[in-house]
């Protein structure tokens, strides 16, 4: 018999557009809940990552909370294609700070749309 004591709740970040490359242009794709009046420490685990490459060229997408280390391996994103990763493809990495994303390159005029679904815990 198992209970659901461990489980958090599923929620999604917004669709975030990323028009520029490199870590200096990193965008926040999910913010950790840290309201001063909440009880306890919240964290989250990415469960789905959905991407749309809008003529940004073939690129790597890095994910983490700071530039180094990244918390997941970089994801290869083909030009003008959708890409998505599901829970069973993602390591169980827990974030205790805002999740940020940045690319290695970005074609002029191109961009990347990013959305994550997470299990929020705590």
Query: Residue 49 Cβ, how far from other proteins at the closest point, in Å?
Result: 21
- Give, as ranges, the residues between 80 and 109 that touch other proteins (CB under 8 A): 94, 96
Single residue of 24, 39, 68, 108 touching other proteins by CB under 8 A: 39
Single residue of 17, 41, 79, 86 touching other proteins by CB under 8 A: 41
- The span from the CA of 36 to the CA of 43, in Å, is 15
Q: Would you say 3 or 89 has its CB closer to other proteins? A: 3
- The span from the CA of 31 to the CA of 41, in Å, is 13
3-state SS record for 27-92:
EEEECCCCCCCCCCCCEEEEEEEEEEEECCCCEEEEEECCCCCEEEEEEEECCCCEEEECHHHCCC
Single residue of 33, 43, 54, 111 touching other proteins by CB under 8 A: 43
For residue 55, what are the β-bridge partners?
Answer: none
Contact status, residue 116 vs residue 72, Cβ threshold 8 Å: no
Q: Would you say 40 or 109 has its CB closer to other proteins? A: 40
- Give, as ranges, the residues between 3 and 22 that touch other proteins (CB under 8 A): 3, 5-6
Residues that bind other proteins (CB under 8 A): 1-3, 5-6, 39-41, 43, 94, 96, 121-122
């Amino acid at each position: 018999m198992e209970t659901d004591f461990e489980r958090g709740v599923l929620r999604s970040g917004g669709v975030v557009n990323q028009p520029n490359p490199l870590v200096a242009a990193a965008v926040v794709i999910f913010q950790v809940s840290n309201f001063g009046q909440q009880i306890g420490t919240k964290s989250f685990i990415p469960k789905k990552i959905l991407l749309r490459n809008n003529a940004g060229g073939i690129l790597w997408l890095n994910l983490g909370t700071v530039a180094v280390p990244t918390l997941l391996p970089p994801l290869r994103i083909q030009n003008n294609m959708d890409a998505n990763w599901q829970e069973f493809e993602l390591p169980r990495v827990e974030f205790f700070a805002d999740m940020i994303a940045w690319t290695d390159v970005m074609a002029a005029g191109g961009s990347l749309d990013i959305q994550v679904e997470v299990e929020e815990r705590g």
